[in-house]
């Protein structure tokens, strides 16, 4: 397939809306769009934001090239004047958002896009594709890392997702704490550490398992990971240690009752003097299975399908909604759909994580400057009254939104490859701030409430 | 991100296995790999194969370019001699497989790759990524098309999946019978028809709904689809017909109780004389919801999230397994992992759909030439005995495997864009051959058994 521009990763209706707005004279009205999700999947305590760096790349590169315009012309869906406008299109507005790796909760405005209608409406599809995909994986992966309780996890799910999605999946997994990936393209493009073992095909290629092990050890050294479940696990472990010596790096189990098997393999390795040889488990693992395996003597996990398909919740449901726009009067007005089940809170919002001491206490999402001002007024009054709840003095607010694109230019160092290590650090810090214990298990109510009313926010600790 | 070669869409272990096999002198052994899934998800009656055309593109383009080799050298994971070998790599073997769009069942060998170990092992990840992704979507989409009972469906899920995955998703959906997609890149690259309506943002951009409708109708003509649930559905429908006249193309409902609402909107449209105006429904639709809506007066569906995320089963579990290889004796030998829960049937297999009359009756997957010969012998004897079950005379076998790549060259016209219309026709024919009635509902036992034993196959109608 030819290279695809990010501009064509777009739904047709964005272009026809642009055309209709241009003809009606409203295309240059200033608009504020926000990206948020209305709820978390049942049982999920938080979401993990990933993909922001990739979104910035996509916006910076968002251009209709000649092939795109030829297609649009041939398809006959747009007028010549619209095509000429698209040929000159580039995003010139502003984007603010949560740092990549940050946690999100219902209604957290993880991205805010400001610009004219015709400038900002076109970004909807590509922004949502990236954030929904990457954050779905990050949100599942973060739970798995907690459940792994420090045991290193390798992302190895590339074969279960779209081939390019696999690269983004490895990136998202690394951001939430995976140690490495099996995917070479993620290593090349995002500098994610790569790791690998061997497949059953390798053992089966040789006339005997012993020949296969000899070949692997001779080529890869004794620090390699040997797959021991092609024939009989016990004989394979004995054989591998015989051939490699007690310095054998690791053995991998990929089938059977991992819990029972790992104990026997650990005892066997120890009895053979291979006390330093690690045991890695793979095969349909997820956070629930990892919980069950926490007392089993395993040293690391390879995690694939359940991670890269979002652990049962493949898309977080991020939407891209117009929340504020210029009216005929030249003033900005909050707007929102009024349908009962999908109502949208109007106005651009300011977002803070309220902390008490070291821990997150609430997500403040305050619509409009008046709400923010009211909250700050009440907070200050409370703090200076002398009679405040002692908790108030330990209260702090962490602003969650930062400038990502200013006047069409991506803020330095925020594009996707440079962003990965910073996002990984951000995620680790935000999870720690949340203060959940792994012993609570993966599921539960949402960890902190989202407060969307300034007075209510101020009363939180009142 | 730089353009990614299909060669780097690969797991590290494929390259280290290649290196070890080269050093051990087994890399040039002839091998047969097969792609199959061990089971269908609970309740699924069949799977729909999609992605084959994209697989052929990926194999044809599978080259390590200079940037790839620089990365691999820098990463220090492979020896110089291996890197030099990879620089010259191209696939030179043969690939046979099911036609794209065909149905598959447990153990159907949808793809067979033959070549030396070092030539064929490298394709594992990219082949599985594509077939798992595209077939997961096709398998869900095929059920939705059945449940839609002829009402046209638009694929509009691009925003819920990886941005490049969105293009493949639109392609897969079209193959299984979707009428169109909202995704422009799928239109440009695979000539999938594109369609679109308007978003709530468009209505909200204007000071009044009436101004928005006027603008859309003026620009897009009265045949357009107007979104009527931003404020009040009934007033919006009245307004749209007033402005457009009875020739209004369609109205879209995206929230609320679709069942109750659609009836009221239909009555209202009819009472306004807009008998030809269609009603399109969107919003978390899937095959179960479509079943419930079958008696509701709707004229088409827009389907997103549940389709592109595989309707709860995002990856069909296709694996790429070595089933036969040359031994030290120079002869081919069936091979397979012996682990209890993941045992693999050895040997390359021949696959046929057994038909009785017009309908599919069984999937024959016969391991080895001896099994195929035994089956054909028994079938012929039965047919010529004069005492056969009358059904035998109505029995026919349809061979399911066709050459896709011969000596490294893709068979003409099988690459991805050219393949789409043929795959769509294949899918429709195979679903009809299966003979399931929509009234059975989407779920049930697997529709036809997979028979892997020649004698058992011959006894089927005995």
The minimum CA-CA distance between B354 and chain A, rounded to whole Å, is: 30
> Cβ distance A47 to A135 under 8 Å?
yes
Instruction: Give just the sign of the alpha carbon dihedral A104, A109, A114, A118.
Output: positive
ipTM for the predicted complex comes to: 0.95
CA atoms within 13 A on the CB side of B263: 7
Residue of B nearest to A309 (CA): B314
Q: Output the CA–CA distances (angstroms, integers) from residue A272 to A223, A230, A234, A244, A268, in the order listed.
A: 16, 21, 12, 12, 6
Instruction: Give just the sign of the alpha carbon dihedral B20, B24, B25, B31.
Output: negative
How confident is the model at residue A344, as a pLDDT?
57
Residues A260-291 pLDDT 10s: 999 999 999 999 999 999 999 999 899 999 99
Instruction: Choose the closest CB to B165 out of A1, A10, A164.
Output: A164
**CATH topology assigned to domain A6-137+314-459:** nicotinate phosphoribosyltransferase (3.20.140)
For an interface test with A, which of B7, B14, B17 has the most A Cβ atoms less than 10 Å from its Cβ? Answer: B17
Q: Which residues of B touch A325 (CB under 8 A)?
A: 204-205
Residue of B nearest to A158 (CA): B129
Helix (H) or strand (E) holding A287: helix A287-292
* Residue A187, Cβ density class (10 Å: 0-12 exposed, 13-18 middle, ≥19 buried): buried
How confident is the model at residue B345, as a pLDDT?
61
3-state SS record for B218-266:
HHHCCCCEEECCCCCHHHHHHHHHHHHCCCCCEEEECCCCHHHHHHHHH
Residue of B nearest to A256 (CA): B341
Tell me the angle at which helices A124-148 and A165-175 cross, rounded to the nearest 10 degrees: 50
Instruction: Choose the closest CB to B215 out of A23, A31, A156.
Output: A23
Record: contact A184-B10, CB cut-off 8 A: yes
Instruction: Choose the closest CB to A198 out of B13, B199, B321.
Output: B13
Record: contact B231-A338, CB cut-off 8 A: yes
Residue A448, both tokens: 């902190």
How confident is the model at residue B344, as a pLDDT?
57
Record: contact B159-A72, CB cut-off 8 A: no
Calculate ∠ Cα A234-A240-A244, nearest 5°: 155
Query: Averaged over B266-278, what is the pLDDT?
Result: 98
The average confidence (pLDDT) of chain A is 92
Record: contact B201-A125, CB cut-off 8 A: no
> How many Cβ pairs closer than 8 A exist between chain A and B?
357
The minimum CA-CA distance between B275 and chain A, rounded to whole Å, is: 25
> Cβ distance A346 to A323 under 8 Å?
yes
Record: contact B327-A207, CB cut-off 8 A: yes
> Cβ distance B26 to A206 under 8 Å?
yes
Record: contact B161-A162, CB cut-off 8 A: yes
> Cβ distance B129 to A158 under 8 Å?
yes
Residue of B nearest to A305 (CA): B315
Higher pLDDT, B231 or B339: B231
The minimum CA-CA distance between A426 and chain B, rounded to whole Å, is: 23
The minimum CA-CA distance between A29 and chain B, rounded to whole Å, is: 8
How confident is the model at residue B74, as a pLDDT?
94
Record: contact B156-A11, CB cut-off 8 A: yes
Residue B189, both tokens: 């690259």
Instruction: Choose the closest CB to A219 out of B20, B254, B325.
Output: B20
Residue A133, both tokens: 């995909």
* pLDDT tens per residue across all 462 residues of chain A: 456 778 999 999 999 999 999 999 999 999 999 999 999 999 999 999 999 999 999 999 999 999 999 999 999 999 999 999 999 999 999 999 999 999 999 999 999 999 999 999 999 999 999 999 999 999 999 999 999 999 999 999 999 999 999 999 999 999 999 999 999 999 999 999 999 989 999 999 999 999 999 999 999 999 999 999 999 999 999 999 999 999 999 999 998 889 899 999 999 999 999 999 999 999 989 999 999 999 999 999 999 999 999 999 989 999 999 999 999 999 999 998 765 555 556 688 999 999 989 999 999 999 877 777 777 777 777 767 766 666 667 888 899 999 999 999 999 878 777 789 999 999 999 999 999 999 999 999 999 999 988 777 777 655
> Cβ distance B9 to A158 under 8 Å?
yes
Record: contact B189-A4, CB cut-off 8 A: yes
Record: contact A162-B130, CB cut-off 8 A: yes
Tokens 């909760």 — which residue?
A105
Q: Which residues of A touch B191 (CB under 8 A)?
A: none
Query: Averaged over B110-138, what is the pLDDT?
Result: 98
Q: CB-based contacts of A348: which residues, under 8 Å, 6+ apart?
A: A32, A34, A109, A112, A114, A323, A324, A367, A368
Residue of A nearest to B116 (CA): A205
Q: Which residues of A touch B58 (CB under 8 A)?
A: 163
Q: CB-based contacts of B453: which residues, under 8 Å, 6+ apart?
A: B366, B371
Whole-angstrom Cα distance, residue B31 to residue B334?
10
Record: contact A26-B215, CB cut-off 8 A: yes
Residue B273, pLDDT > 80, answer: yes
The answer to whether the A6-137+314-459 and A197-275 domains have the same CATH topology is: no
The minimum CA-CA distance between B356 and chain A, rounded to whole Å, is: 35
* Beta bridge partner(s), residue B450: B363
Instruction: Choose the closest CB to A162 out of B33, B133, B198.
Output: B133
Record: contact B163-A130, CB cut-off 8 A: yes
For an interface test with B, which of A23, A61, A201 has the most B Cβ atoms less than 10 Å from its Cβ? Answer: A201
Whole-angstrom Cα distance, residue B106 to residue B124?
19
How confident is the model at residue A417, as a pLDDT?
75
Whole-angstrom Cα distance, residue B163 to residue A123?
12
Q: How far is CA B31 from the centre of its chain?
A: 27
Instruction: Choose the closest CB to B23 out of A23, A218, A231.
Output: A218
Instruction: Choose the closest CB to A162 out of B117, B162, B340.
Output: B162
Domain extent listing, chain A: 6-137+314-459, 197-275
How confident is the model at residue B1, as a pLDDT?
45
For an interface test with B, which of A159, A182, A226, A416 has the most B Cβ atoms less than 10 Å from its Cβ? Answer: A159
Record: contact B13-A182, CB cut-off 8 A: yes
Residues A248-260 pLDDT 10s: 999 999 988 898 9
Instruction: Choose the closest CB to B166 out of A129, A229, A337.
Output: A129
Give the percent of chain B with pLDDT over 70: 94
Record: contact B220-A125, CB cut-off 8 A: no
Record: contact A133-B187, CB cut-off 8 A: no
CA nearest neighbour of B298 among B285, B280, B314: B280
Residue of A nearest to B258 (CA): A341
Instruction: Choose the closest CB to A196 out of B12, B72, B215.
Output: B12
Tokens 């409370």 — which residue?
A382
Selecting from 1.10.3720.10, 3.40.50.1100, 3.20.20.70, 2.60.120.200, what CATH number does the domain B197-278 have?
A: 3.20.20.70
Record: contact A160-B207, CB cut-off 8 A: no
Answer yes or no: CATH 3.30.450.20 is held by domain A197-275.
no
Whole-angstrom Cα distance, residue B323 to residue A201?
9
Record: contact B9-A416, CB cut-off 8 A: no
Residues B171-229 pLDDT 10s: 999 999 999 999 999 999 999 999 998 999 999 999 999 999 999 999 999 999 999 99
């Amino acid at each position: 397939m030819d290279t695809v521009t990010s501009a064509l990763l777009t739904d047709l209706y964005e272009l026809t809306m642009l055309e209709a707005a241009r003809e009606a004279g409203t295309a240059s009205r200033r608009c504020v769009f926000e990206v948020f999700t209305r709820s978390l999947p049942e049982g999920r305590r938080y979401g993990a934001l990933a993909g922001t760096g990739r979104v910035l790349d996509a916006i910076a590169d968002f251009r209709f090239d000649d092939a795109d315009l030829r297609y649009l012309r041939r398809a006959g869906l747009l007028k010549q004047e619209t095509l000429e406008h698209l040929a000159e299109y580039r995003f010139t507005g502003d984007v603010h958002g949560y740092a990549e790796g940050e946690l999100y909760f219902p209604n957290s405005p993880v991205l805010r896009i400001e610009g004219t209608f015709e400038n900002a409406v076109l970004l909807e599809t590509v922004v949502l594709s990236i954030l929904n995909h990457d954050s779905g994986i990050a949100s599942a992966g973060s739970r798995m890392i907690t459940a792994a309780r420090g045991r290193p996890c390798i992302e190895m799910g590339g074969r279960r997702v779209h081939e390019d999605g696999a690269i983004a999946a490895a990136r998202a997994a690394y951001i939430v704490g995976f140690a490495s990936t099996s995917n070479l393209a993620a290593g090349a493009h995002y500098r994610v550490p790569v790791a690998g073992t061997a497949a059953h095909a390798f053992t089966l290629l040789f006339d005997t398992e012993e020949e296969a092990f000899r070949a692997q050890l001779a080529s890869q050294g004794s620090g390699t990971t040997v797959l021991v479940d092609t024939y009989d696990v016990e004989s394979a472990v004995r054989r591998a240690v015989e051939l490699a010596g007690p310095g054998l790096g690791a053995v991998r189990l990929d089938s059977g009752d991992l819990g029972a098997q790992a104990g026997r393999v650990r005892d066997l390795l120890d009895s053979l003097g291979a006390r330093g040889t690690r045991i890695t488990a793979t095969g349909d693992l997820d956070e629930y299975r990892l919980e069950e395996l926490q007392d089993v003597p395993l040293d690391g996990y390879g995690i694939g399908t359940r991670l890269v398909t979002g652990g049962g919740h493949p898309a977080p449901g991020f939407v891209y909604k117009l929340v504020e726009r210029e009216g005929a009067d030249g003033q900005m007005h909050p707007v929102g759909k009024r349908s009962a089940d999908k109502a949208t809170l109007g106005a651009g919002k300011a977002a803070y994580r309220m902390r008490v001491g070291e821990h997150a206490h609430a997500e403040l999402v305050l619509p409009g400057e008046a709400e923010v001002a009211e909250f700050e007024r009440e907070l200050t009054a409370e703090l200076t009254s002398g009679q405040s709840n002692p908790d108030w003095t330990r209260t702090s607010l962490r602003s969650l939104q930062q400038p990502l694109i200013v006047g069409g230019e991506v803020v330095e160092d925020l594009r996707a490859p440079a962003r990965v290590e910073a996002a990984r650090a951000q995620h680790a810090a935000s999870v720690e701030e949340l203060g959940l214990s792994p012993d609570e298990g993966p599921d539960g109510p949402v960890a902190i409430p989202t407060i969307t009313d300034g007075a209510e926010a101020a009363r939180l600790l009142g």
